[in-house]
Amino acid sequence: MALLEVRNLSKTFAGSPGVIDVNLSIQSGEIHALIGANGAGKSTLMKLLSGAYQGDQGEIYLNGQRVVIENPVHGKELGIHCVYQEVDTALVPSLTVGENLFLDCLPLIINWKTLFREAEEVLQKLNFPLDPKRKIDSLTLVEKQMVLLAKAFMQNAKIMIFDEPTAPLSGPETKILLQQICNLKEKGVGIIFISHRLQEVFALCDTLSVLRNGQLVLNRSVSATSPEVVVEAMFGEKRADGFVKKTASVGDPLLQANHLSDGGRVKDVTFQLRKGEILGIAGLVGAGKTELARLLFAASPRQQGDILWEGNPMYFSSPKQAIEAGFALVPEERRGEGLFVNESIRANLTLPILKTIAPWGWIRRQKEREHGQKIVDALSIKASHLEFPVERLSGGNQQKVVIGKWVGSDTKVLLLDEPTKGIDVQAKKELFYLLEELVAQGISIVYFTSEMDELAAISDTIYILYKGHITKKLGKEEMDPQTILYYASGGTNQDETDSA
């Protein structure tokens, strides 16, 4: 008997199909991948299973018994746990790992010794290398995810659903997380794993389901299919192969950054950016990429160093001045720093160009709509209309809005901080073609990411950022994902030591 079975489950929203007539079954100890393009309905399905949404139609069975999941708390009682991407909101940062594990069931009088001992036991059972006495705010992202995993396991999770857990992680961290998920699987937990990275899906999962426009179009065991088949199912047609970069001619030096420091994570960073160049900044999570991007954009104060624009020193001290100088930043934290979730797609997309569509202060609605529509089409943002509130877009489509906002503005240097977070393979390819188009227009791009294969595919030059320092510069010929990762994880330069 299946651990979880879904029959004819449907949930539609005004204007868009969420999930239509889905049948699915998951066994205990199975890792089941849920795959689909942005807006296909993955998160919706997960919310239906957790009780956050109520289906319009269909039934859910747990161990053969029909259940109606009223809300997420009820879902948890039934043993269905979700790990959302925003792990921080689910933990208390000022408390220890142990306390967080027992947070929902703390007794009136706490016996610290037993609490930590029991926490230790749980962590050991799962093979999680975590000290229960550490504070949450000292943990890395993947460690926080582990705490949530352990907590769910403790509360007798039978089904665990992960919505793009690996999107914010770098390669090595992803490995750790996948290992922990395997540990859960061995304990008999049924797992639903949502991801846009087919590689990890094929490495980790037993079975997979593909959703397209809310409908289940493929349901197979992983060994009986291939990435090509899956991609074809996702989009309903064969897709041309991966992205191949045109050999573009890079122009003259544009920007020279000298000895930049922010007094924190960024230490003495020096690099040069040329006109029409795509410059990759590679670094693991925590290497200081976000901090460096913010520093260049004057979103956080510069403590030392200077920036020269075509040889002339630039003075700016706020994002507003940076934008006027031609910079634009796509921040990593899309909800907190990039999006206006309560506003429409239109208002989000046209904010940077308000001056041009409102020359005398009066916004020309027609022009505004045209501009918005152009970007929606260019990035194929999936929404029924321009006035759709960004809040209700799927995660990947929200990310496209954050990027699209700067398309068509007077940007000369585009800073992208993990821009592909949460977008599907096709959208990623489209983004790369868009970037190529932008550099062809003479725009320069600084691309900050821990996705080494992306960097290898798109960059003209790569700088490695390791613990806040630039440790290495890689030219076109040295760019393969392994090499980049090697240096980004702190590997040192053998050639140089040899020759020295």
Partner 1 sequence: MKQTALNFLYKYGALLVILFVLLYFSYAVPYFFTYDNLTDILRSISIVAIVAIGVTFSLIVDGFDLSVGSTVSLTTVLTASLMVWYEQPLAIVIFAALLAGAMIGLLNAFLIVKVGIPDLLATLSMLYVIGGVQKTYTQGYSVYNKMPLPDGTTAPGVLSPSFLWLGQGKLFGVPVPVLILILLVVGVHLLLKYTRFGRMLHMIGSNQEAARLSGIPIYSMRTWAYVFSGLFAALGGILFAARVGSGQMDAGAPLLMESVAAVFVGYSVLGAGKPNVIGTFFGAVLIGILLNGLTMLNLPYYAFDIVKGLVLILALAVTYLHVRRKKRT
Ligand X SMILES: Nc1ncnc2c1ncn2[C@@H]1O[C@H](COP(=O)(O)OP(=O)(O)OP(=O)(O)O)[C@@H](O)[C@H]1O
Residue 308 makes CB contacts below 8 A (sequence gap 6+) with 255, 256, 257, 258, 314
Segment near ligand X (CB under 6 A), from 55-63, 116-124, 268-276, 395-403? 395-403
Min CB(372)–ligand X separation in Å: 16
44 binds, among ligand X, partner 1, Mg ion, none (CB under 5 to 8 A by kind): ligand X
Q: Does 437 bind partner 1 (CB under 8 A)?
A: no
Q: Does 107 bind partner 1 (CB under 8 A)?
A: no
Q: Which is nearer to partner 1, 131 or 410 (CB)?
A: 410
Segment near partner 1 (CB under 8 A), from 74-82, 113-121, 337-345, 479-487? 337-345
Q: Which of residues 277-306 bind partner 1 (CB under 8 A)?
A: 297, 299
Min CB(329)–partner 1 separation in Å: 6
Residue nearest to Mg ion (CB): 43
Q: What angle do CA 104, 110, 112 make, to 5 degrees?
A: 105
Count residues near ligand X (CB under 6 A). Answer: 19
Q: Which is nearer to partner 1, 52 or 308 (CB)?
A: 52
Question: Which single residue is written with the structure tokens 């926080």?
Answer: 144
Min CB(336)–partner 1 separation in Å: 6
**201-220 burial code (b ≥16 CB/10 A, e <16):** bbebbbbbbbbbbbbbebbe
**DSSP letter for each residue of 114-148:** HHHHHHHHHHHHTT----TTSBGGGS-HHHHHHHH
Q: Taking a C-beta distance cutoff of 8 angstroms, is the pair 436, 443 a contact?
A: no
Distance of alpha carbon 390 from alpha carbon 169, whole angstroms = 24
List the one residue out of 81, 71, 233 whose CA is nearest residue 163: 81
338 binds, among ligand X, Mg ion, partner 1, none (CB under 5 to 8 A by kind): partner 1
**DSSP state letter for 334:** I
Q: Taking a C-beta distance cutoff of 8 angstroms, is the pair 388, 344 a contact?
A: yes
Interaction mask 4-23, ligand X, x per CB under 6 A: ---------x--x-x-----
Q: How many CA atoms lie within 13 A of 270 on its CB side?
A: 4
Binding residues (CB under 5 A) for Mg ion: these are: 43, 394-395
Q: Which of residues 420-439 bind ligand X (CB under 6 A)?
A: 422
Min CB(422)–ligand X separation in Å: 6
SS3 266: coil
Distance of alpha carbon 277 from alpha carbon 251, whole angstroms = 7
Distance of alpha carbon 294 from alpha carbon 431, whole angstroms = 22
Interaction mask 358-377, partner 1, x per CB under 8 A: x--xxx-x------------
Q: Which is nearer to ligand X, 42 or 185 (CB)?
A: 42
Distance of alpha carbon 198 from alpha carbon 228, whole angstroms = 10
Which residues are at the interface with partner 1 (CB under 8 A)? 52-53, 71, 297, 299, 318-320, 322-324, 329, 331, 336-343, 347, 351-352, 354-355, 358, 361-363, 365, 405
Which residues are at the interface with ligand X (CB under 6 A)? 13, 16, 18, 36, 38-44, 382, 392-397, 422
